[in-house]
Amino acid sequence: MSGHSKWSTIKRKKGAADAKRAKIFTRFSKEITVAVKEGNSGDPEANPRLRMAIQNAKGVNMPKDNIERAIKKGIGGDASSYIEQTFEGYGPFGIAVFVECLTDNQNRTVQEVRAAFTKNEGSLGTNGSLEFIFDRKGVFTLPISEGMDIEDFELEVIDGGADELIVEDKYITVTCVLEDFGNLNKKFEALGVEPENAELQRIPNTTQSLNDEAFQKVMKLIDTLEDNDDVQQVWHNLEVGDGQEELLS
């Protein structure tokens, strides 16, 4: 199993655990609201970003009422104050950490993200400093349906722009380069397949393994960042070793 495969699996499992908390619904609500604003439409059929955001929200069992409220906020213009902001830095033991935010107060977000790094033995870097570590890719995750012919499915998605398909734990993970994300999304629609999750991820091209004690120190930083209301996603190049899945909170 490749490092990318394991990394994707851990993100999916940790995401499933996070979904038990109401906090993750707030993140998806913000993404839906901003998608409505950016796409100038509350109709998912006419707004690809909104369609993807709703799809991902459903993937973590976000209630329909929450989704509808988030759409109404976007239509009402409440998304105008949200600003996309990113941070790049290093956690303990030189682990690269990339943070994506949606915030209505940049000063607050800068202070809180910087404090999270500092209190957890990390340091912020300049934007662009981690470009050589992460590749921006489209990643689609879907459960294997009963009777699915995986070989035929693989040929179809390769035709749609996929560059990798991984079968693992009754799930299929399909990746593509950034430029083919839209094309592959359309291919899934043509096949009548709805991924459980579809997003642009920052995939590390090199990963680092740590012992359990060091691993937990890095995860403390990552958890602190993910608990921040302004933070949407945290990407890193920490390899999760055998047995360390149980250490994920």
pLDDT, tens only, 147-165: 889 999 999 999 999 999 9
* Position 140 in a domain: yes
The pairing of strands 231-236 and 96-103 is: antiparallel
Report pLDDT digits (tens) over 91-149: 999 999 999 999 989 999 999 999 999 999 999 999 999 989 999 999 999 999 888 89
* Position 114 in a domain: yes
Query: DSSP characters for 120-163?
Result: TT-EE--TTTTTTTEEEEEEEEEEPPTT--HHHHHHHHHHTT--
Would you tell me how many other CB atoms lie within 10 Å of the CB of residue 195? 21
Check residue 37 and give its pLDDT: 87
CATH number of 119's domain: 3.30.70.980
Residue 216 sits in the same domain as residue 226 = yes
Residue 221 sits in the same domain as residue 125 = yes
pTM metric for this prediction: 0.82
Identify any residues that bridge with 202 across adjacent strands, giving them in sequence order: 136
- In Å, how far from its chain's centre is CA 128? 19
Residue 126 sits in the same domain as residue 209 = yes
Residue 216 sits in the same domain as residue 192 = no
Residue 123 sits in the same domain as residue 216 = yes
* Position 244 in a domain: no
Range of the domain at 63: 3-80
* Position 183 in a domain: yes
The pairing of strands 208-209 and 238-239 is: parallel
Residue 37 sits in the same domain as residue 8 = yes
Residue 88 sits in the same domain as residue 74 = no
* Position 143 in a domain: yes
